[in-house]
Structure 1
C-alpha cells in the first residue's frame, strides 16, 4: 500500500518478479518456479513514473527518496513463512484433502508429541508447544518453533514419506537462512531447496495451493543474502516489543504517558541481565549446548572455580561421538542437529565462554537429541 503497487491478490502481485498470476479456485496462484524475470529498482521506478504521467496514478512518496524500491522492501518471513506457509501446511494436514490429511489418531499422536516436548523447550522461547487443535490461535513464534525445530521430531513416521520429505526441504532451507553464517555459505543450496519445495507443492497439494506466500519462498534466500539472515529483516523484534509495551500500561488513563515514563525509567537504570542469564542457562531445560568440532554438551553444575587462565569453567557432560539426526535433504549436522547415546559421554570442565550456542535437548530412552537454536530474536 505504501509502495502504491498491486497487492498480493493481484495478477502481478509479486513485488520481486514479473510473473503473472492465474485465477484458480477463487484465488490468484503463481505456478511458475523457474525462468522468472526479477524486478529491479530502475524498471520499477520507470514504470511508476510512466503510470503517473499517462494514467494520472499517484506514485509512492518513497519513490522520491534515494532508496531501492525492490531490495529495501524485504519479504518478512514472520508473516509469509511462519504465519503463511507453515500454518497453511498444518491446516492442510488436519483439515485438507484426504490425500494429504492426517487421521484423527495421527493428529492426536502429533499433539501428544508436541505436549511431551514442553518441559524440554528452553526459556529463550516465549511459548511452549500447544496441540494442533489450537492451530488457529498459534502465534508466529510457535509456528517458527514448529517449522525449524519441533516439526522434524513430531511429524516423523506420522506424515507420509512424500509429505514429510517435502516439509523437511522447507524446514532445512528455513534453518539455513536463519543462521548468519549458513545463510551466506549455503545460500545456493537453500535456494534449490525452496525452489524444490514450491515446485513439489503443486504435485502434492494442487495448483490452488500455489498462492503468493508459497511463491515468495523462492525469493526468500535472496533476502537472507542481502541482509545477512532472515532475522535481520523480519517483523519479530517489532512484534516482540509490542508485548513489552503492553505490560508497561497499568490503567486506561493516559497510556502513552505511562509507556513513555516506564521506558525512561528503564533507560536510566537498566537491569543487568547477564547474572540472571548465567544462573538460568545451566539448569534444565537451558543446559544444552553445541560445542566446536561437532561436539555437544549438557551442563550439569553451576559455574565452578576458574581454570589456570582465570576463566570460569562449568562441569559438563561432553558428547564427542555425535551422529546426524537425519541425512535427507542434507547432513543434519550442518544445521546443528545431532543425536548421541546418553552413556557415551565424558564429564569435563568446559570454559564458560565456549557455551555460546544453546540447543534444545530432547532425551528419549538411551538417546539424546540436540537441536541448535538458530534464530536470535
Structure 2
C-alpha cells in the first residue's frame, strides 16, 4: 500500500502547478502533454493522466451566440479586466481615468479557406503597468468571412462599453473611470466599422473630403481638401462617403473622426514602404533599379544582420524575399536600414524623396520631438505626396500615399505613432492564431486558451524591480566581493538589452546627449547603493550624416569617428535615454541611429 504524506501532496501540487504553467506558456498540444503525464506516472508521480484535468480550473462559462454569418463569443470587458485591476489595485489611484484603445480586425485561420476570427482587442494607454497588456473582450468566428451585420457583431461590446464609460468600475472602494482614446483598424476593417465606402472608392479618405480621380485606378491628388468632422460624420453630410444605415460607433460618446485613427503599420509600413520597394525592385524602367544594385542592397542588408540590436523582431532579409517581408521588416527598413543601404543604389532624386518620408516618420515616432516638430513632419509629408506624382506617376497616389498627410493630425491628438499603431495588436493576433490546434470548435478552444493564459498571468507575482527584469547574466570571471559584473542586463523601464561584449547592444545615448559605448556593467555589493553602473567611452567627434531635409542629428542619426574617443568613465543606468543601432562603415567611421520605435 502506498501512503501519501502531506509533504508528498504538496510536492505533487507543485508539480501539477508547474505542468499547468508549462502547458499554457508553450501552447502544448493535449496529446504531447498526456504523453509526458504518462511518463511521470510510470515513475511514481501521483498526478492526473489527462492534461484537461489539470487545466480544468480555467474553464468558465461564457455565452457563445449565433449571429449573422457566424458565432460570437462575448468575453466581456469587466470580466477580463477586473482581476488584473484587482491584482494591481495598490498601484492605481482613486478616480483615475484609464484611457482605452481598441483594435478590430480580421484574422484568417487558414490559407485554403475563408474561416477567420474577428477579435475585439483592448489595451490601456496611460497605465504603465499595463503598457503591453492586450485584453480580448470579444471574438467573432465564421467559416465564411467577416460578420454579416456590423451592428449585431458590435452590439454587446458597445452596450457594455457605454455602461463602463458612464459608471466606471469600483474595486476595493476605488473608483476607476474610463474613456475611449482611439480605435485602431486597417483600411478595410475601418470602412466596415464606420459603414462607409471602401478605400478604393472615390470618397474613401476617412480624414478629409477629397474626391478621387480615375487614372487607370482611383488616386487622390488633392492635399488641401476640407477635413471631416464628428458632426459631419454623424449627419452624413458627405453622402457619397457613407453607405446605407449607420455605424454602431455613433452610439458611443466619442469624436469619431478623432478616435478612429490612421494606423501607420498598415498605411506606412505595409502600404507606402512596401510600394516603394516594389517600384525599385519590380517596377518599370524609369524607377526600377538595375539587377546589380538590387544585389548590392541585398548584400548590404545581409551584412547588417550582425549589427541589428536584440530589440528588433527580425534580421534583415534579401530583396529576393520581399514578398515574404513582415510589417516589422518594413518598419526596420524605413526607420533604420533603408538610409544606409539605399545610398548610391537608387537615383539621387528617389533617395532624397525617401529621406522626406524617413525624416517625417522618425519625428512622428519620437516621444522627444513629435510635439515640437510635427508641423515640420506635416510639411515634409505633403512634399513627399506631391513629389510622388512626379517620380512614380499620379495614378499611384493611392489611399495609403494620400493618407500620409493626415498622420500628424493624429499624432498631435494621441502622441507618437506607436501610441496608436497596430503592431502590439498584430503580435497578439499571431499568438492567438498559433494557439489554435483544430477548427472543429474554434470559439470553445480559444475561450479555454484565453482563460488559461489569463489565469497563469494573474498568478505571476508582481515585479517591483525598477531597473532590471529577471533577465541578466553575471560575469563570474570579473565579479568579486566588492562588485558584481554583468555580461548583459535588460532595463525594465524601456526593455533595452545592454551588453558589454557584443557591439549590437553596446551603443547608447545619455541625458546630456553624449553617444557612448559600454565597456562594462556592474553594481556595488552594498546595501546602500545597488544602482547598476556602466563604464563607458564617449565618441568625441559626432557629425550629421545628412543635412537635408533637416540636419540628421534632429532625428537621431549621427556619424561618429571611432578612433576619437574619451577615457573610460562611469555613469548610472538612470542616465540612459536611448539605445542605438551602431553600424561600422570603415576602420574609423560609424553610423549611429537612436531606436525610436516601441519595444
TM tier relative to shorter chain: over 0.9
Query: Looking at CA atoms only, which structure, 1 or 2, has the larger radius of gyration?
Result: 2
* 1:29 match: 219
Are 1:358 and 2:575 matched, yes or no?
no
* 1:236 match: 423
* 2:543 match: 323
**Matched residues, number:** 372
* SS of match in other structure, 1:370: strand
* Equivalent position to 2:505, from 277, 286, 296: 286
* 1:314 match: 534
Q: Pick closer, same or farther for the CA change 1:48–1:340 going to 2, 3 Å.
A: same
Q: State the shift of 1:249 in Å.
A: 5.9
Highest relative contact order (Cα 8 Å, sep 6+), 1 or 2? 1
Q: Pick closer, same or farther for the CA change 1:344–1:305 going to 2, 3 Å.
A: farther
Larger strand percent: 2
2: distance between equivalents of 1:172 and 1:161?
A: 16
Are 1:369 and 2:591 matched, yes or no?
yes
Gaps of 5+ in 1: none
Q: State the shift of 1:5 in Å.
A: 1.0
* 1:63 match: 250
* SS of match in other structure, 1:276: strand
* 2:469 match: 274
TM-score when normalising by structure 2: 0.59
Gaps of 5+ in 2: 1-191, 473-488, 491-496
Q: State the shift of 1:262 in Å.
A: 2.7
* 1:14 match: 205
* 1:43 match: 232
1: distance between equivalents of 2:334 and 2:243?
A: 45
Asked if 2 retains the 8 angstrom alpha-carbon contact of 1:113 and 1:154, the reply is yes
Deviates more, 1:139-148 or 1:259-268: 259-268
Q: State the shift of 1:276 in Å.
A: 1.3
Q: Pick closer, same or farther for the CA change 1:270–1:334 going to 2, 3 Å.
A: farther
Deviates more, 1:266-275 or 1:157-166: 266-275
Asked if 2 retains the 8 angstrom alpha-carbon contact of 1:77 and 1:230, the reply is yes
Q: State the shift of 1:334 in Å.
A: 1.0
Asked if 2 retains the 8 angstrom alpha-carbon contact of 1:12 and 1:21, the reply is yes
* Equivalent position to 1:95, from 282, 302, 305: 282
Q: Pick closer, same or farther for the CA change 1:246–1:64 going to 2, 3 Å.
A: closer
Question: Which aligned pairs between 1:171-182 and structure 2 lie closer than 5 A?
Answer: 171-182=358-369
* 2:264 match: 77
* 2:148 match: none
Are 1:121 and 2:341 matched, yes or no?
no
Are 1:199 and 2:386 matched, yes or no?
yes
Deviations 1:262-303 (A, max 9, x none): 332123115866141626422422121112333211112122
Are 1:301 and 2:520 matched, yes or no?
yes
TM-score when normalising by structure 1: 0.92
* Equivalent position to 2:335, from 139, 148, 154: 148
Asked if 2 retains the 8 angstrom alpha-carbon contact of 1:17 and 1:38, the reply is yes
Deviations 1:219-239 (A, max 9, x none): 011111110111111111101
Q: Pick closer, same or farther for the CA change 1:271–1:161 going to 2, 3 Å.
A: farther
Q: Pick closer, same or farther for the CA change 1:203–1:354 going to 2, 3 Å.
A: same
Q: State the shift of 1:255 in Å.
A: 4.5
Deviations 1:61-89 (A, max 9, x none): 11122111211111000000000000000
C-alpha RMSD of matched pairs (Å): 2.3
Asked if 2 retains the 8 angstrom alpha-carbon contact of 1:294 and 1:322, the reply is no
* 2:561 match: 341
Asked if 1 retains the 8 angstrom alpha-carbon contact of 2:195 and 2:243, the reply is no
Deviates more, 1:133-142 or 1:288-297: 288-297
2: distance between equivalents of 1:98 and 1:73?
A: 39
2: distance between equivalents of 1:56 and 1:150?
A: 42
